[in-house]
Structure 1
Amino acid sequence: MSTDAAAGIYARESGYLERYVQVGTAGGRVISVSFPESPDDDAGGELPLLDRVQAYLEGEEDDFADVDVAMTMPTDQRRVLEAVREVPYGEQVSVKKLAGMTPKLDVDDDEAHQLVRTALADNPAPLVVPDHRVRDGPSAAPPEVEQRLRSLEGL
């Protein structure tokens, strides 16, 4: 799914997260998701994806798998983030399991596990790329946001 919006920054306040969800878009794709305490001054509020995020934060199941995310990172990290998008709503995996789900990574290789951790920590679009579903890995979202996302999905 394209974001169907002009390039820009969009934000909406979330009572559940007690902060804003801010989305950057370009070329019809999500380029960033962040969780600031206050939005950028030039942030717009009307973005269909933010409607979906709001519904998700109110308990509606959504895996955001159809959202087009710009993956402008090294190929090996992109493969990790693409694999984490395959983890279903309400389920979690370990770093080791995610390494095994990622093409060209060895499930038992410590370097592969470190690559997974690096990719998760550098995730440009947490929530849409659900790094909170990796139980023993880092999240690019602030810790309190990560915990609320896990709680929301019963993890």
Structure 2
Amino acid sequence: MDDTGDVAGIFARESPYLGRHVQIGVASGRVVSVSFPDSPDDEAADDHDLLDRIFDYLGGVEDDFSDVAVALTVPTVHRRVLERVREIPYGEQINVETLARMTSGVDHTDEDDLNDVRTALDENPAPLLIPDHRVRDGPSAAPPSVEQKLRSLEEL
């Protein structure tokens, strides 16, 4: 199931739990971005099925968002890393080394490869849908306060 539908645009809604907005960008039926601005883009609409799901998640409903199509226009190694991050189950954490072990073509003993993993996490275009908050010793593309709230929500 893909809740992005055929509607393209920017959608945002304020989250009291996060203390900021959740904003998604959608194009060609795929999510191209997830961000957490203090104020949404002026043209952002607030009605989207995926926002409904995200707000259910923020309210405590378990969801892994694995069925949501995310457009990853990132280098190949970053794509492989982020695809593995999507496989980390709700409520579980791993570390950067384990993520590197899970990722094809990445050597968990090579510092350059570990830096590639960290860079992929830091530049993640869709935090929450690609749950980088589940990698405990890696950076998150979400603001630190959002990352901590997501970890707290999942009891990590």
Q: Same fold (TM over 0.5)?
A: yes
Which shows bigger deviation, 77-86 or 100-109? Answer: 100-109
In the other structure, the counterpart of 1:55 is: 56
State the partner residue of 1:124: 125
Determine the structure 1 residue equivalent to 2:96: 95
RMSD: 0.8
**Aligned equivalent of 1:36:** 37
Deviation at 1:36, TM superposition (A): 0.6
Instruction: Give the deviation of 1:5 after TM superposition.
Output: 3.9
* TM-score computed with the length of structure 1 as normaliser: 0.98
Greater CA deviation, 93-102 or 4-13?
4-13
Residue 148 (structure 2) aligns with? 147
Q: Does 1:112 align with 2:113?
A: yes
Counterpart contact for 1:99–1:113, Cα < 8 Å: yes
Contact 2:3 2:49 in 1 (8 A): no
Unaligned 5+ segments in structure 1 are: none
Q: Structure 1: which 4+ aligned runs deviate by more than 2 Å?
A: none
Residue 50 of structure 1, CA deviation = 0.3
TM-score by length of 2: 0.97
- Distance (whole Å) between structure 2 residues aligned to residue 5 and residue 120 of structure 1: 28
Residue 109 of structure 1: CA displacement? 1.6
Q: Retained in 2: the 8 A contact 1:5–1:47?
A: no
Where does residue 27 of structure 2 map in the other structure?
A: 26
Answer yes or no: is the 8 Å Cα contact 1:84–1:98 preserved in 2.
yes
Q: Name the aligned partner's letter for residue 68 of structure 1.
A: A
Report the counterpart of residue 67 of structure 1 in structure 2. Answer: 68
Deviation of 1:2 (Å): 4.9
Total equivalences in the alignment: 155
What letter is aligned with 2:139? P
Q: How does 1:8-27 map to 2 (within 5 A)?
A: 8-27=9-28
What CA distance in whole angstroms lies between the structure 2 residues aligned with 1:54 and 1:30? 16
Amino-acid identity (%): 64
Secondary structure of 2:121 counterpart? helix
